[in-house]
Structures are given as structure tokens and as C-alpha cells.
Amino acid sequence: MISPPGRAGIPRPPPTPGGAVEEPPNELDVLTRLPLCAEAALTLLGDPITPTPRFFIRNHFPAPRLELASWRLVIDGEVERPVSLSYEDLVRLPRREGIALLECAGNSRSGVNPPTEGVRWSNGAVGAARWAGVPLASVLERAGVKPGAKEVVFEGADRGREPDVPEELQYAMSISIEKARDGDTLLADRMNGAPLSVNHGFPVRAIVPDWYGMASVKWVTKLTVIDHAFQGYFRTRPYVYIHEGDSVGGTKTPVTVQRVKSLITWPGEGQPIRPGRHTIRGVAWSGGGPISRVELSVGRLDPATEPDQWRPTRLTGDPALHSWTPWEYEIELARPGYYVFRVRATDAHGNTQPVLSPWNFRGVGINSVHQLPVVVEGEPLR
């Protein structure tokens, strides 16, 4: 078995009650088995909707196997009337569906130097699916949110230990009350037209569009409305931006909205291409607004040798609200040789990708320009 992430030498024992290993789909590359972390190769991610077997999995603890009949969702805290809903109660509420992209905050961490703690994701911890369920807002309305509410904490049914904490932890994460009231934030029970699989949160998970994946809590069983900033382990320890020189006791900036980002999905890593005309393809997204521009550079790695020549690519498909936009670029690479492709996206609010994302201690929110070495060799295409 591959050892789970965590500080070297400290084992990370499991035990989600009833926790069971559901085999990951074999289209995914498994990084850790228990808890399961698995991602897709980029060549599998070029489509507007990611088929579920290609959708990454990020579990912090063993996945709980919940029963529909006994599942309940409790809503309490700063509410007028605490509520407890069965699955039947929940799915009878007015429904809503839409496409949303999830990206793990640690995606692309393996490219960070110096290395940080955390799962060493390549670039494939991202996917876009069609989710269906009930707006979180309607559930909150039934409970009646009190004035002064600041955040909603989602609790998952999964539990276990982290190396640096003595007691057992439950997965929990908060979002702002504004985001909770946004009609697009869902309690979802379906993914790509089917009930959620165990690894994606059966029976019900949160879907928080435009935020990094940690907020889309799986196996959700409890919502607590609070009037202060949540201080739980996952909110304050792994999912924060910590920069050099920050004080140890100080308040950390929580990881929330997805930064603008783009990836090249064709050609694949280490896949030589023949001299001739090619269509380079990829995807681009931003939690800060729709993508307005994606540019490709085929040049030298060191901008001092030869400055980047950013050339506009063609956005294909509709501009996606909470998801990615595919792009393509036709290029003539007549001569064999070694090239580096780089891609950079900009959103409607002018947010653009840095060549090198600011380094941080957790290796989160990495949105450096994607750089792909490409070898052109062999018989010319004709």
C-alpha cells in the first residue's frame, strides 16, 4: 500500500465507522489508497464535462458508507428552528441543476519548489460535472437564519486522525453566509445524471461553485450556522495561505475562490508529435468570472533569452459560468525540435495567471502558467 500523506514517520490511522474502500475507477492514477486520492491524466480532461470515472477523488479519511434510510441532515446553530431532514424530505424540495468545476486547492502542488507538505498532485485534481440537488438557500430558509449569521459549517460523516492532532477529527469546512445563500450553492445528490458514488459523497454533498474543492463537503450530515469565523482544523490548518514571514499565531487567509487557471490537454506530457500542422487544445477557468482570453506561447523558458510571444487562442463552446472553457490553437511546427508551450488565461475581471504562482507553505492555490515541453520528431505529417 502507498503510504498516506502527512508528516514523515507519523502513521495516519483511519477509522471512519463503516469506512470501506471502494475501488477507484481505473482511468485514474492513484496517489494514495487510504485515504483515497486519485487524479486523471490531462489528456482525459479536454471535454466540457468530465465523465465520472475520470473525475478526481480527494478523501481525507476512509469514505463512509451511509444508508439512505437512516441518513439525516441536521440544521442548527444561529437559526430560528433547528431542522432535521430525511433524504425523502430533502429531495422533495424544489430542485436545481447545473455544471460546476471542482479543483482541489492542492492541484499542481508537485510543481512547487521548494516542495511543501500535502498530497503531491500533478495537474489532474480538477473536473467539471453536472450536479443536481436542492439549493442550500432553501434548506436554510426552512430553518430561518438569524441576523448576525456569518458562516455555515458543513460536517461530513467521515472521521479519522491527522498526524499533528491528538483527538479524532471529523471533516468540516465553512463557507460565508453570502455564498451559502447564493442559489447556485447546492446540496447535491446527483453527479452527471446518476446518484453520487461513495467516493464522491453518497448520498448528499455540498457543491460550492467557484470555490476550491475543500468547501464542497461530501457525505454531509450537519449544517451549523455560526456568527463568527469557523476555527476548525481543516479551515485553519491545511486550507490557508501562509507566506514567508507570516507570524505563527496570526490569522491566516482562508483558501476560498478558485484562482484563474488554464491547462494544455493535448498534446499529453511526454507525447512526441510529428512535424506539421497541429491543433493544441486545453481548458481554462476562474472562480473570479468567465474566461475572456487564453493565450499560448511557444518559445524559450527563459524570457531573458527570448520574450514570450503570447498569441490568442480560440475559445470553443459557450463561456461557462461555474466551469471551464475549452480553447484551441492551430500551429504549424514544420521543423523537428524541442519546444516549450505555455498557456495563460485571463478572466472577465482582468485576473490573469502569473508565470510563477506565489509560493506558500501549504502549496495551495497554485495557478502558475502551465508549461509543457514538447518534442517534434519523426516523419512530417501530410
337-376 residues near ligand MTE, rule: CB under 6 A = none
* Binding-site partner at residue 60 among ligand MTE, Mo ion, none, CB < 5 to 8 Å by type: ligand MTE
Q: Return the H-helix or E-strand segment holding 277.
A: strand 276-285
Whole-number minimum distance, CB 219 to ligand MTE, in Å?
A: 5
Give the span between the Cα atoms of 195 and 190, in whole angstroms.
4
- Site size for ligand MTE (CB under 6 A): 18
Q: Which is nearer to Mo ion, 84 or 253 (CB)?
A: 253
In 3D space, the residue among 92, 98, 71 whose CA is nearest the CA of residue 138 turns out to be 92
x/- contact string, 109-148, with ligand MTE (CB under 6 A)?
----------------------------------------
217-236 residues near ligand MTE, rule: CB under 6 A = 217-219
- Range in contact with ligand MTE (rule: CB under 6 A) among 75-83, 213-221, 340-348, 355-363: 213-221
Q: Which is nearer to Mo ion, 109 or 190 (CB)?
A: 109
Whole-number minimum distance, CB 274 to ligand MTE, in Å?
A: 35
Maximum pairwise Cα distance, the chain: 72
Q: SS3 of 290, please? A: coil
- Range in contact with ligand MTE (rule: CB under 6 A) among 49-57, 138-146, 284-292, 304-312: 49-57
Torsion 79-82-87-91 (CA) sign:
negative
Looking at the DSSP bridge assignments, the partners of residue 325 are 284
Residues near Mo ion (CB under 5 A) are 58, 104, 213-214
| Bond preceding residue 380 cis, omega within 30 of 0 | no
Q: Which is nearer to ligand MTE, 125 or 273 (CB)?
A: 125
Residues 6+ positions from 311 with CB-CB distance below 8 Å? 295, 296, 297, 298, 329
In 3D space, the residue among 125, 63, 126 whose CA is nearest the CA of residue 100 turns out to be 126
Q: What are phi and psi of 205, to 5 degrees?
A: -135, 160
* Binding-site partner at residue 200 among Mo ion, ligand MTE, none, CB < 5 to 8 Å by type: ligand MTE
Q: Is position 187 an interface residue for ligand MTE (rule: CB under 6 A)?
A: no
Residue with cell 436542492: 134
* Binding-site partner at residue 66 among ligand MTE, Mo ion, none, CB < 5 to 8 Å by type: none
CA angle 235, 79, 152 (to 5 degrees): 20
Whole-number minimum distance, CB 240 to ligand MTE, in Å?
A: 13
CA angle 244, 258, 116 (to 5 degrees): 35
Q: SS3 of 142, please? A: helix
Answer for which of 4, 19, 34, 58 binds ligand MTE (CB under 6 A) is 58
Q: Which is nearer to ligand MTE, 217 or 343 (CB)?
A: 217
Q: Which is nearer to ligand MTE, 216 or 313 (CB)?
A: 216
Residue 379 CA, chain-centre distance (Å), reads: 40
Task: Give the interface with ligand MTE as residue ranges (CB under 6 A).
Answer: 55-60, 102, 104, 156, 158, 171, 200, 213-214, 216-219
